[in-house]
Structures are given as structure tokens and as C-alpha cells.
Structure 1
């Protein structure tokens, strides 16, 4: 994870967040234009995320829910400041994310671990999940972005070859009725969002896409991240064997790839 040292005095932290910050040891680790993420080296470490008002509420709720299942850090603070910005504070989860070199240097072992951990997540009971409508919202976002002309065809064409936007959207619509909201998903199941501590699972981060949806969303992102971060498709079959081929429909993976073009 990239971290750039910054002066805490340059950030307008609300009073409720300042107890998690020292006068030194603050870093910017943002990776998205929609939110800023700061890492504070105080105590064992804290991550402090800020974004527009109410945009972190879903992530805070799902992070707390996953923490209740022993899968994520607790939410220490969630608030909206007077200037209309959300703030969320979580403690650092012990370990490193899966794009750390020691894990990438054993790709087959990593692919199997990623598959087993995903299978375990998908087997969990989702009673009480704060977002039972994740699949509905996921499909609605794709429809809205298609209508607005927002897309990235590479999510589909890099896997299935050249196709027009209209052709890809036809694929997205063709089998979407077969998707099932019957599984607790992470929603962005990529290597940077899985934390290991000496090869032992330590927790998930970035829960803003989590909820009850179709398992193929997570399987798609797992296969995507292995291809992207390892620069090869060589571990696709390793992952599918470890996860369970009988649980995966290749046609629905193609459907998810098409939907993600408009995600």
C-alpha cells in the first residue's frame, strides 16, 4: 500500500477523529478520487477514511457486520462533520495485504488460499445483513451507467475478445435474471482487500460493495485480481478447482464481466 507522509495540520479532522492521530506519523494512502484514506501510526495503527456526506454509511454498516462475524476490523468511529463530510475510523488489521511480495512469490498457494477463504465466506449465514438488496442495486447501477454513457469495455474484451458496447450490454441483460441474491459477498474480492498475517487470514477491508448478492460477483473479481496482479491466467484453474467448479457457472461469469463494464 502506498503511503505518503503528510502534516496532520493540513487536514481538517473533526474533533471526534483527532484522538486517533499523533502530531507525527500520518500518511495519505488514498487510491480513489472519491475518498481520502489516511493511515495514522498512533498505537497499533488506524485507518481514517473520509468522503462526501452519507457515502461511507453503507461501508461502516457492512464493516461492523463483517466484524461481528470475525472477518473485519471494528468501526471505532463513524460521523458526518459540519462541512458535510463522512469520516470512518478502523484499527489496522495485523498483517499485510495479498499484493505483498512474499505472497505474490507463491502464486499457486495464494490462489488456493484465496479460493478457500472465499468459499468459507460464501457458506456463511447472512441473517441480519444490513444490505439484502445488493444485487438489485448492482444491476441498477449498471443500467444507470449504460444510459449515461459510462463504461469501460476492457472488463469484458480482455477476457472474451472484441465486442461493441451494445453487444456487451446485451450479454449483461441476457442472463441477469439467473443471478441470485443468496450469498454474502465481499463485492470487491481483490488481493489488496484480503489481509494475511504470515499466510493466516486476518481480515477483509473495503466493505463498501458488500452485501447479499450472487456468488459469481466475488468469483469474477477473484479471477480478475489473480490475472491482473500476477500478470497471467495460469492460476485461474487452480482457483476454480480449490473453490469448487460445481459452484461456478461460466455463462454467469461472462454475464458479470459484461455488467462490470457498466459498474
Structure 2
């Protein structure tokens, strides 16, 4: 995939060695690039897509990262190119470790608090200044269109929804839609691999293609699930409540959390 790079990117990568990165579920090919004495780089490559979900379009992610860089630490977009049906985004490498790494037991509480503090910082960005819409009207339209196009991955459904069709799940989604939304600037896929920490503080947010204005529970729902998922055994039961307490919602709306987890099944 790295043999025929766009010229603008190939020029920047002369002398660099590429190493694939497997962590994360973005769907893109992700490569760490290193050269002695030079700052590390990250390259994401994926096919151009007409998917209604902006998380599958690097053009969308590049635009959002450039905007977010004024507010929170994110990778610097160095080049974005489209060539021969593929998208290429070259970024600076952010220092730090992801929340999904195996943290020593004595550090885990500090890590979860830092992740909550990072989210509060993101959610404090003035909504009226954000140009990206991921409110329910938009997200449900995306979910409906992905259902119509057969793009929803049924095999990836949580256990409680296994055996259901996307159409059946869409009916449940519409029936349980909250009556209101508490809008903030959301990450859109706020889970452990997408938060980088250094010295106990946020060093960078990544995988930002779904960022935009949405209910804060969009992010709360996915991080609490991530903290209790089998994919992250260093955490587990009870860490969701530590996170919510640190965020400032010790008594969350669990029905709203379940709704936003259900919404995520379509993406």
C-alpha cells in the first residue's frame, strides 16, 4: 500500500522506515514512520469512500483535526492527498501512551481520571464555534442510510443484539430516542485507544473523523463501555463509575448511555 505514494507525501518520507500499527479499529491502514534524528510521523491510508459515516473519510478527519488543534492537542496534519481511489493523511506523531495499553495497577486510577479530565476539556469548547454537526438528526440519518446500503456489520453487534437485523435495531433506536440532547463538542469515538497520555495528562486525541456537535452522552457511553470491555482487561468492572465520577456525573442517565451504545452499533 506504500509503494505508490502521492509525490507530496513520498518527498517527506525519504529515509523513513514504516512500521504498521494494528491497535485501533479505524479501518484505515496506519503506519508509524521513523528516521534517526527526526520527529516521528504517522501515515493513514484508506480507500476513498462514499460511506455516510464521516469516520470512514480521511478528508473529514483532516478537516476536523485542523479545526480542533486550536482547542485540544491533536496530531498536526502535514499532508492530505487523494490519488488513484485512495486517501492519504500524513500527521505528526503524538508523544505518550494510549489509554488501551497495559497500565500498572497503581497507575490506573490516575489514567482514568486523566481521561475524564481530557473529555471535560474537549466538551468545554464553545458549541457555537464548531462547524461540524453530529447531532441525533444527522447521526440517525447516517444510521438509516448505512442500513439501507447494507453497510452495518451485524457480526460486530454486542451480545444482547446478536441475531437481530440492522432494520430491527433501527426500529429500537427510533423507539428509544431521547426527547432532548445536551450538546457539546464531542470526539464521536471516545474510547481508550483514541486517547494518548503523557506524564498523567492528555497529550493527544486521535481518530477524530466522527467529531462534532452531539450529546455529551455520545462520548460518555463509548468510554464507559471501553473501560469495561474484554478488549481492555487491565480495567474492568467499576472503572466506568470512576470515570463518570471524575467527569462530574456520579449519577448518570444509564438509559441514555444504553441508547448511544445502541446508536454506535450502526457505525
Q: Decide: shared fold, TM above 0.5.
A: yes
Q: Show the counterpart of 2:30.
A: 37
Separation (CA, whole Å) in 2 of partners of 1:233 and 1:14 = 46
Give 1:234-253 correspondences, 5 Å limit.
Answer: 234-245=238-249, 248-253=252-257
Separation (CA, whole Å) in 2 of partners of 1:116 and 1:32 = 24
Q: Which of these residues, 26, 40, 47, is aligned with residue 42 of structure 2?
A: 47
User: Is 1:256 paired with 2:260?
Assistant: yes
Q: Is the 8 A contact 2:95 2:203 kept in 1?
A: yes
User: Is 1:88 paired with 2:83?
Assistant: no
Q: Show the counterpart of 2:213.
A: 212
- 5+ residue gaps in structure 1? 1-7
Q: Show the counterpart of 2:53.
A: none
User: Is 1:20 paired with 2:12?
Assistant: yes
Q: Is the 8 A contact 1:156 1:257 kept in 2?
A: no
Give 1:158-237 correspondences, 5 Å limit.
Answer: 168-180=169-181, 182-228=183-229, 229-230=232-233, 232-237=236-241
Larger helix percent: 1
Shift of 1:204: 0.4
- 5+ residue gaps in structure 2? 50-56
Separation (CA, whole Å) in 2 of partners of 1:244 and 1:199 = 19
C-alpha distance 99-154 of structure 1, shift in aligned 2 (>3 A)? same
Shift of 1:157: 4.2
Q: Is the 8 A contact 2:178 2:256 kept in 1?
A: no
Shift of 1:180: 2.3
Task: Say how many residue pairs are matched.
Answer: 252
Shift of 1:104: 6.4
Runs of 4+ in 1 over 6 A off after TM superposition: none
User: Is 1:113 paired with 2:117?
Assistant: no
User: What is the TM-score when the length of structure 1 is the normalising length?
Assistant: 0.83
User: What is the TM-score when the length of structure 2 is the normalising length?
Assistant: 0.81
Separation (CA, whole Å) in 1 of partners of 2:104 and 2:135 = 31
Shift of 1:103: 5.8
Deviations 1:61-110 (A, max 9, x none): 111111121321221111212x1321111100111212232366633222
- CA RMSD across the alignment: 2.8
Shift of 1:13: 1.2
